[in-house]
Structure 1
Amino acid sequence: MNHTLLFEKLPGDWRGTCRTWFEPGQLADESELTGSFTPLLAGRFLRHAYHGTLQGKPRTGEETIGFNAVTKAYEASWIDDFHMNYAIMFSQGPPMERGFAVLGAYDVGENQPRWKWRTVYELTAEDQLLITAYNVSPEGMEARAVETHYRRVATRSSH
């Protein structure tokens, strides 16, 4: 799916379930989540804002998503009051058949090797979106970290 079509399909309000793992294979939390995708700059970018809880505490975050026409890659900036509570993560990556995948890196401590964070956005049906994020250790071991299953509750114009 090309980015123009994807950016026309995503705007609107979404509701779903977010599952979080802190250790591989050990589900730490499953909670409700609401989100919205809003077109920015005449639909050239999307703002994804979300609100929910994590282990009973409020959680909120935002992403700005774009498609770089020169590199033919998606780009995203992400802030979140839990996962990225001290920094902005910048990610980029290729289009996929029903969405895209981006890869970024984050700091875990001073003088520590950076970890990577791979996020896959997949429009699994017209009104269903699956966002899956994976932690990638400095050694390259990948483990599912966050999985959001969204269902559309309202649409918005992309202009």
Structure 2
Amino acid sequence: MGKQAFEASLAEGRHRQLARMAGEWEGRFRLWFTPDELACEAAQRGTLRSVLGGRFLLHEYESRFNDEPIEGIALYGFHLDDNEWQAAWAESFGTGTQLMSCVGPGDDPRLDVLGSYGDGQGGPRWGWRTRLEQPDDDTLVITMSNITPQGEEMLAVETRYTRSK
């Protein structure tokens, strides 16, 4: 990555897009274990901040699953040389001890990345898609989908944030 390319991305490219998401956020977390039954809905607070000179966006958040607190972190970035979105995610509830690495095509203007996880019993891996969309400066929507080993994709998590005042 050349310095000029990075500076251009900060000014008007993917890194500028990440910087727009920085701030304090609050909203609703919704979780599904099966497509037709909402398992949980709770308040969620999050902080997204630019780190390492704008190279990455760090998301730290807190919510609940029933009486169980949830804490999570995600690091989002755009790899200029490989033209791809990248993310790493860990959570006290969903990822266990795994640091999930995810990548996605840079041609998509949305941050849309794909990772995978095991079923804990030695079976085939499942896919996990994460999408971030910012329809306006004060709204951020994060959706996460499970993808079965057979390729069927279904919504698992939706967080709808509004920027804190």
- Does the alignment reach a TM-score above 0.5? yes
State which of 115, 118, 141 in structure 1 corresponds to 2:129: 118
Deviation for aligned residue 1:2:
3.2
Deviation for aligned residue 1:5:
1.9
State which of 47, 59, 64 in structure 2 corresponds to 1:53: 64
In 1: Cα distance, 2:19 partner to 2:75 partner: 15
- The letter for the 1-side match of 2:20 is K
User: SS where residue 16 of structure 2 aligns?
Assistant: helix
In 2: Cα distance, 1:4 partner to 1:45 partner: 8
1:13 aligned onto 2:46: no
User: SS where residue 7 of structure 1 aligns?
Assistant: helix
In 2: Cα distance, 1:4 partner to 1:109 partner: 36
Task: Normalising by structure 1, report the TM-score.
Answer: 0.91
CA contact (8 A) 2:104 2:112 kept: yes
> Quick check: which one's strand share is greater?
1
In 2: Cα distance, 1:109 partner to 1:85 partner: 10
CA contact (8 A) 2:49 2:59 kept: yes
What's 2:4 paired with? none
In 1: Cα distance, 2:26 partner to 2:32 partner: 20
The CA RMSD over aligned residues, in Å, is: 1.3
Deviation for aligned residue 1:57:
1.2
1:131 aligned onto 2:152: no
Deviation for aligned residue 1:108:
1.1
When structure 1 is superposed on structure 2, of 6-15 and 132-141 the one drifting more is 6-15
> CA offsets per residue over residues 28-51 of structure 1, 9 Å max, x none?
000000001111111111110000
1:65 aligned onto 2:76: yes
Greater C-alpha radius of gyration: 2
- Bigger relative contact order, structure 1 or 2, given CA contacts below 8 A and separation 6+? 1
Unmatched tracts of structure 2, length 5 or more: 1-11
State which of 4, 28, 36 in structure 1 corresponds to 2:15: 4
